[in-house]
Amino acid sequence: MGTNSSMDHDMAGHRLDQLKNFPFRRIDELLNGLAPGRPPVFMQVGEPQAAVPAVVSQTIAQTAALFGKYPPPAGSPGYREAVARWLERRYVLQGNSINAATQISALCGSREGLFQATLMAILRKRDWLGDTGIPPTVLVPNPMYHVYFGGAIVGGAEPILVDTVAENDFVPNYAALPKDVLDRAAICFFCTPGNPTGAVATRAALTEMLALARKHDFVLAVDECYSEIWFDTPPAGGFDAAQDLGGVPDNLLVFNSLSKRSGSPGLRVGFVAGDAALIEPLLMLRSYGGAQVPGPLMAAGEALWQDETHVIANRAHYLNLVEIADYHLGTLPGFHRPEAGFFLWLNTGATVGDGETATRLLWQHAGIKVMPGRYMSQTDPKSGKSPGDDYIRIALVHDPKTVEDAMSRIAQVLSTHKSIN
């Protein structure tokens, strides 16, 4: 018994070690001891800097008495109705086709929901696999939002990394995975528009993925947190795929939040919607360890989902920032204009070297703090390389004047130092 306990302890310790590579911790270590060359501009975090819509503070003030009540674990009926009707408008679904009571749950931002859905899906697949000793798999894009990988590790599953690179238009090709891997899959993450790449998956690609999820009985988790920051055509989503496959969201969970859409990251209000047969066990799991959204914050969220005026203004704001970036950086080798979202995924390999080198140079010479692409990726243990090695991620979240200045500084550094490698 003591031997097993020690073994379990060692395995748990090994898994925890794999969680130490959280991006923001690594960038602080990379730049430790280096002074910024100019007044700093922080562009490593995707945190909108514009003013929060006025309706947020107004609604919280009007509903402050709800702080004295325990909020419903799944969210208030009004909040869930607002989300259901928004989904129907956004994806042109038949009226009242989404059951707000059984197909939607409020979340404290999407991160906790993505993490807990991973644990739920792993437990679900373990029951299906039985006592085979074979672990479930979790299908993860690489580079990624690290919560996907963290959920797989904590749940004791095997993360399967699928590179999203320029050669596949930065969209993961999960269908090419071996049948055994797909049969063991508990959950597959599909982030569109992509973080950090800004790539948008086609409706056909999403439909193919949902069909694959049903064939192999895994959860398709579509992370749509950047869905409303688009510049040409609204991106397709998980519910579009469901419409193409009989109009039912079987095997589908869609995640979204107000952090990006409504510029309210501190509100911590989001939702998960989809297959009622998946929402129910997720809610059961969250009843043990999930955080409920406080009533006044949920009321503010309800008001935001019902309004599109501020979203249209946000979209125009980010388009302007992308245009500024395009003007200053568009002629650089490795520039990739995002299809949606507010991140630049810039290949610096052809100018100054890998992303870590570029990050240090930009901090030391321009005072610009960005994210090395390597820190958004998992490294191949055999080659020691990752698909993000030659990239940096730049968050376009400041006011136009600040972004104009920052892009000018970045262009100057990348052009001036391009001969060092």
Residue 395 belongs to domain with CATH number? 3.90.1150.10
Element (H, E) at 99: none
pLDDT at 2: 38
- Is 1 within a domain? no
Using one digit for the tens of pLDDT, what is the confidence trace for 90-125?
Answer: 999 987 789 999 999 999 999 999 999 999 999 999
Query: Half-sphere exposure of 252 toward its Cβ, with a 13 Å CA cutoff?
Result: 28
- Is 29 within a domain? yes
Same domain, 47 and 62: no
Same domain, 301 and 315: no
Q: How far apart (Å, rounded) are the C-alpha atoms in residues 264 and 258?
A: 6
Using one digit for the tens of pLDDT, what is the confidence trace for 26-36?
Answer: 999 999 999 99
Same domain, 352 and 371: yes
Same domain, 302 and 215: yes
Using one digit for the tens of pLDDT, what is the confidence trace for 69-90?
Answer: 999 999 999 999 999 999 999 9
Using one digit for the tens of pLDDT, what is the confidence trace for 314-357?
Answer: 999 999 999 999 999 999 999 999 999 999 999 999 899 999 99
Please give the tally of structural domains in the chain: 2
Looking at residues 367-371, what average pLDDT do you find?
Answer: 98
Same domain, 46 and 58: no
Same domain, 47 and 71: no
More confident residue, 22 or 254: 254
Torsion sign, CA atoms 241, 246, 247, 253: negative
Using one digit for the tens of pLDDT, what is the confidence trace for 293-303?
Answer: 999 999 999 99
Place of tokens 């699928």: 162
Domain boundary among 306, 322, 343: 306
Same domain, 153 and 96: yes
Same domain, 345 and 285: no
Using one digit for the tens of pLDDT, what is the confidence trace for 319-330?
Answer: 999 999 999 999
pLDDT band of residue 13 (cuts 50, 70, 90) is low
Q: How far apart (Å, rounded) are the C-alpha atoms in residues 300 and 259?
A: 13
Task: Supply the Cα-derived Rg of the chain in whole angstroms.
Answer: 22
- Is 178 within a domain? yes
List all residues 6 or more positions away from 36 whose beta carbon is below 8 Å from its beta carbon.
363, 364, 367, 369
The answer to whether 339 and 199 have CB atoms below 8 angstroms apart is yes
Using one digit for the tens of pLDDT, what is the confidence trace for 399-421?
Answer: 999 999 999 999 999 999 864 44
Same domain, 93 and 180: yes
pLDDT at 195: 97
Tell me the H-state helices in 266-306: 276-289, 295-305
List all residues 6 or more positions away from 203 whose beta carbon is below 8 Å from its beta carbon.
236, 240, 241, 244
Whole-angstrom CA distances from 44 to 26, 48, 369 are 12, 12, 6
Q: How far apart (Å, rounded) are the C-alpha atoms in residues 375 and 23?
A: 5
pLDDT at 418: 64
- Is 16 within a domain? no
Same domain, 29 and 119: no
Using one digit for the tens of pLDDT, what is the confidence trace for 34-53?
Answer: 999 999 999 999 999 999 99
Using one digit for the tens of pLDDT, what is the confidence trace for 130-187?
Answer: 888 899 999 999 999 999 999 999 999 999 999 999 999 999 999 999 999 999 999 9
The boundaries of the domain holding residue 319 are 22-51+310-416
Q: The pTM is what?
A: 0.94
Using one digit for the tens of pLDDT, what is the confidence trace for 190-228?
Answer: 999 999 999 999 999 999 999 999 999 999 999 999 999
Phi, psi of 393 (to 5 degrees): -110, 130
pLDDT at 14: 72
Domain boundary among 271, 306, 341: 306
- Is 8 within a domain? no
pLDDT band of residue 16 (cuts 50, 70, 90) is confident
- Is 421 within a domain? no
- Is 403 within a domain? yes
Looking at residues 5-31, what average pLDDT do you find?
Answer: 71
Place of tokens 């994806």: 91
Same domain, 168 and 281: yes
Give the CATH number of the domain where residue 115 resides.
Answer: 3.40.640.10
- Is 126 within a domain? yes
pLDDT band of residue 12 (cuts 50, 70, 90) is low
pLDDT at 191: 98
Domain boundary among 276, 306, 336: 306
Residue 32, by phi and psi: left (phi above 0), alpha (psi -120 to 50) or beta?
beta
Same domain, 259 and 346: no
Would you say residue 4 has pLDDT above 60? no
